[in-house]
Amino acid sequence: MFLRFPGGLVKALTFSYDDGVEQDMRLVKLMDEHGMKGTFNLNSGQFTPEGFAFAPGTIHRRMTLAQNKALFTGRHEVAVHCLTHAYLPDISQERMVYEIVKDRENLEREFGGIVRGMAYPYGAVDDATVEAVRCCGIRYARTTRSTHAFRIPQDWLRLDPTCHHDDPLLMDLADRFVEARNFNEVKLFYLWGHAYEFEANNNWQVIQRFMDRLAGRDDIWYATNIEICDYVLAWKQVYASVDGRRLHNPTSFTLWFEEGGQVRALAPGETLAL
C-alpha cells in the first residue's frame, strides 16, 4: 500500500521563500500565473515602517506590513522566520522560544489562521533549536541543506529542501522530476530561496524557466508547505486491523493510496474494508 497525494497524484511541488521582500510580489504573480503555490517566511519584527525610503541600489527591501497583508491573502502560506531573523543556535533557549512564538503570534494576528510552519533564519539549526521549535507548536521547519532528491521528509523539523533556485542542477532535477514514472513512493520537489536574489543576480528567467517546465501537469499537486506536511502526517494517523484488511481514517482529510495498482480514497472518519 502506497500513499498518494490528493486526487491520487504521485508528485507534489512546493516553494519556500524567505524574508518578505518586495520581490515576493513578482514571485507570487509568477506562481499564480503558473497555478503554483508557495510558502513565505516572514520576520514580523522587521517589517519596513510605512513611508521608509530605501537608499538607492538597496536590493534587500523588506515589505511593510500593509504590503505583506495585501500580497498574502490566503492562497499562499505565511510562516515563521523568527521575530528578528535571529541566529538561533547562538542565543539562549528562552530567547529562541520568544523569537519563534512571538513571530507566530504576530503572523496569526495579522494574517489569520493557525501558523505552524517555519524556515530557520540562515538555515541555522542544532538540537537545542529543534527542541525550541517543537515546544512552539511548529509542525515543520526548513533548513538550507540541498538533498537533490524528491523524498518525503522523515524529520519534519529538519526539513531539507531539494535545492535552491540558483543550484546548477536545477533544470536537470526539474527534468528528472517531470520524467519520473512507475515508482511507489510519492515524490516531492521542494525549492527554496529569496526572491531578492533574482534582482541581485538579474536572473528572473531561472524561475520562469523552472515554472514553465513544471506547470500544468496532471500528475503534480501544487501546494503550500503546510498543506503537504498536514496531508502526509494525517496519513501517519491511519490505523489498520492486524490482517491489514480494514483501514480507519481518524483525520479530517480525504486520504488517497494505491493498492495493487488501484488508487483508492479513504474519507474522513471512514473505515474501509479492502
Alpha-carbon distance of 140 to 225, in angstroms, equals 8
Measured between alpha carbons, how far is 245 from 227 in angstroms, rounded to an integer? 28
Q: For residues 109 and 145, is the Cβ–Cβ distance under 8 A?
A: no
- What minimum distance in Å lies between the beta carbon of 19 and Zn ion? 5
Based on CB atoms, which residue is closest to Zn ion, 124 or 272? Answer: 124
Nearest residue (CB) to Zn ion, 37 versus 194: 194
Residues shown for the chain: 274
Q: Which residues pair with 90 in a beta bridge?
A: none
Smallest gap from Cβ 192 to Zn ion, in A, equals 10
Which residues of this chain interact with Zn ion, rule CB under 5 A? 18-19
Minimum distance between the CB of residue 104 and Zn ion, rounded to whole angstroms?
Answer: 16
Closest separation in Å from C-beta 66 to Zn ion: 21
| Residue placing its CB nearer to Zn ion in the complex, 88 or 255 | 88
Sign of CA pseudo-dihedral 108, 142, 253, 34: positive
For cell 536545477, the residue is 170
19 or 167: CB nearest Zn ion:
19
Determine the Cα–Cα distance for residues 160 and 192; give it in Å rounded to an integer. Answer: 10
* Alpha carbons 41 and 66: distance in angstroms, whole number: 16
Nearest-approach distance from CB 9 to Zn ion, in angstroms = 31
Amino acid (one-letter) located at 32: D
Q: Which is nearer to Zn ion, 40 or 256 (CB)?
A: 40
